[in-house]
Structure 1
Amino acid sequence: MMKAIKLAAVVAVAGLMTGCASTSDIDNLQSQIDTLKSQISSASSDAASAQAAAAEAAAKAAAAEAAANRAAQYAQDTNSKLDRMFKKSMMK
């Protein structure tokens, strides 16, 4: 009976010693966590700047579309005036 208790105690101590993480393991994990946090922060700032650039590009595209629509309207007005002038000259 005593032999079984001693054996169980030895097994328990050995299990605790091998099952616990060492301080260097914890430090290693903490450094990995810190690295991941900095990478996440960098990715977040990159995403924010990309979103700002996309919004700026969309605004420029809308302005270009408006300018193109005005130019098309001016061209159409000019063509109408030229057609009227041509018809008027043909009537004489």
Structure 2
Amino acid sequence: MMKAVKLSALVAVAALATGCASTSDIENLQGQIDSLKPQVAAASADAASAKAAAAEAAAKAAAAEAAANRAAQYAQDTNSKLDRMFRKSQHK
């Protein structure tokens, strides 16, 4: 997206630096710029879609991490209970 805009600006500067541009040159450049506008809009929409998908994936990953942490805590609690039960049975 930005690359296209930069390229258009570079072409415009090069045309102005090489001398007076004719009307057909200016019209040609304007045509190129106009043809790039839909591509820039599509790239911007794709970037917004990708950003939304990344945010959704990050939220799902955070939820999965929280679930894994809970499961690990439950397992640790169960192991502690089993150890206490074993020690209690050995103590008698």
Q: Distance in 1 between matches of 2:29 and 2:91?
A: 92
Is the aligned partner of 1:57 residue 2:62? no
- 1:16-61: per-residue Cα shift (whole Å, max 9, x none)? xxx5624x43442232111211111011001101110110011001
| Structure 2, gaps ≥5 residues long | 1-19
Q: Distance in 1 between matches of 2:21 and 2:43?
A: 34
Percent of residue pairs identical? 78
Alignment correspondent of 2:67:
67
Q: 1:85 to 1:32 in 2, by over 3 A?
A: same
What letter corresponds to residue 21 of structure 1 in structure 2? Answer: S
TM-score, normalised via structure 2 length: 0.70
Q: CA RMSD in A?
A: 1.5
Q: Which structure has the larger Rg over C-alpha atoms?
A: 1
| Structure 1, gaps ≥5 residues long | 1-18
Out of 62-71 and 25-34, give the one that drifted further.
25-34
Higher relative contact order (CA 8 A, sep 6+): 2
**Alignment length, in residue pairs?**
73
